[in-house]
């Protein structure tokens, strides 16, 4: 069955719901919709073709329920404006079409798609942030376009094929958070032949960099703390600095060599190995 053209917004709960996700840890989800102003609850006991919801998944989804994570992402103007620009540049492929937003968070990308003229947007997120996303959708009078589905992509049901899949799935070192698998799942389940995926590809580069100010702040700081010799902490400070990821903007002068391509991913042809 295919959904009616004029339908109300709803969210459904899928397996392992009640938890959410991202700090940069991150997400996944899929779902069907409900009748007027109703919440659709889905059976969390997955059929055999659906991967189980693990404790890691639950912790991941739970982390993305925190508003600070989403505020951090939205305030990243390079990230957010690049997505908005890409959506508007592909407006001819989005206007009048059906879109799935995998891991919708606050729903900002779904709203951009609605502004680009999408006929319907399925905004999916397993995190409880989906509840707030639904309120954002209603506040912007987009409930007739955007359907918020609360649950994992692997568990939700959509009763039609889609023309476009959009997702901000990238994590640290591109693949951290393992969210690409959810995009692949959405692609294989719902995307029409010739459909659009944003982003269509991704490339991971690696290059050595220097950052003297950060080194001084993180490591040299311990050499003299309020006149006390704490240089015994330097070794641990170096270890922590190397182990923990850091998202920063640096200048070209900080990059010591030409970047090397570590991994190229084509969103249309990559696949998820079967366990």
Q: Are 162 and 30 in contact (CB under 8 A)?
A: no
Assign 8 to helix, strand or coil.
coil
- Residue 77: the pLDDT is 86
Q: What is the pLDDT of residues 257-272, one digit of tens each?
A: 999 999 999 999 998 7
- Catalytic site residue 177? yes
Q: Which of 91, 3, 14 is nearest to 47 (CA)?
A: 14
Q: How far is CA 113 from CA 101, 102, 248, in A?
A: 9, 13, 28
Residue 195 and residue 60 share a domain? yes
* Average pLDDT rounded to a whole number, residues 139-161: 95
- Residue 245: the pLDDT is 80
Residue 175 and residue 78 share a domain? yes
Q: Which of 205, 204, 83, 104 is nearest to 147 (CA)?
A: 104
Q: Which residue has the higher pLDDT, 113 or 29?
A: 113
Q: Is 73 exposed, middle or buried (0-12, 13-18, 19+ CB in 10 A)?
A: middle
**Does 153 reside within a domain?**
yes
Residue 77 and residue 135 share a domain? yes
* CATH classification at residue 112: 3.40.50.150
**Does 140 reside within a domain?**
yes
- Residue 272: the pLDDT is 72
Q: What is the pLDDT of residues 27-78, one digit of tens each?
A: 333 333 333 332 343 444 444 456 776 655 555 555 565 566 657 777 888 8
Which stretch of DSSP H or E encloses residue 77? helix 77-89
Residue 147 and residue 253 share a domain? no
Looking at the structure of the chain, the number of domains it has is: 2
Q: Print the domain residue range for 110.
A: 55-201
Catalytic residue among 72, 81, 168, 253: 168
pTM: 0.73
**What span, in angstroms and rounded, lies between the C-alpha atoms of 258 and 104?**
35
Catalytic residue among 160, 177, 244, 253: 177
């Amino acid at each position: 069955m295919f959904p009616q053209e004029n339908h109300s917004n709803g969210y459904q709960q899928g397996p392992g719901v009640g938890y959410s996700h991202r700090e940069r840890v991150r997400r996944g989800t899929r779902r069907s919709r409900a009748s007027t102003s109703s919440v659709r609850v889905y059976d969390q006991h997955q059929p055999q073709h659906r991967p189980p919801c693990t404790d890691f998944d639950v912790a991941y989804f739970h982390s993305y329920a925190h508003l600070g994570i989403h505020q951090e992402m939205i305030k990243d103007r390079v990230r957010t404006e690049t997505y908005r620009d890409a959506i508007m540049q592909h407006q001819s492929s989005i206007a009048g079409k059906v879109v799935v937003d995998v891991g919708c968070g606050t729903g900002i990308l779904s709203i951009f798609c609605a502004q680009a003229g999408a006929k319907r947007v399925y905004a999916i997120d397993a995190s409880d942030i989906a509840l707030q996303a639904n309120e954002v959708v209603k506040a912007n009078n987009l409930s007739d376009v955007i359907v918020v589905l609360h649950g994992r992509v692997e568990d939700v049901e959509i009763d039609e094929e889609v023309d476009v899949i959009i997702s901000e799935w990238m994590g640290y070192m591109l693949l951290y958070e393992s969210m690409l698998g959810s995009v692949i799942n959405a692609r294989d389940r719902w995307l029409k032949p010739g459909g659009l995926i944003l982003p269509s590809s991704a490339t991971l580069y690696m290059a050595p960099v220097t950052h003297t100010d950060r080194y001084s702040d993180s490591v040299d700081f311990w050499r003299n703390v309020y006149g006390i010799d704490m240089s015994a902490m330097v070794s641990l400070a170096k270890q922590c600095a190397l182990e923990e990821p850091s998202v920063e903007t640096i200048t070209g002068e900080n990059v010591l060599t030409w970047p090397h391509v570590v991994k190229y991913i084509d969103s249309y042809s990559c696949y998820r190995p079967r366990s």
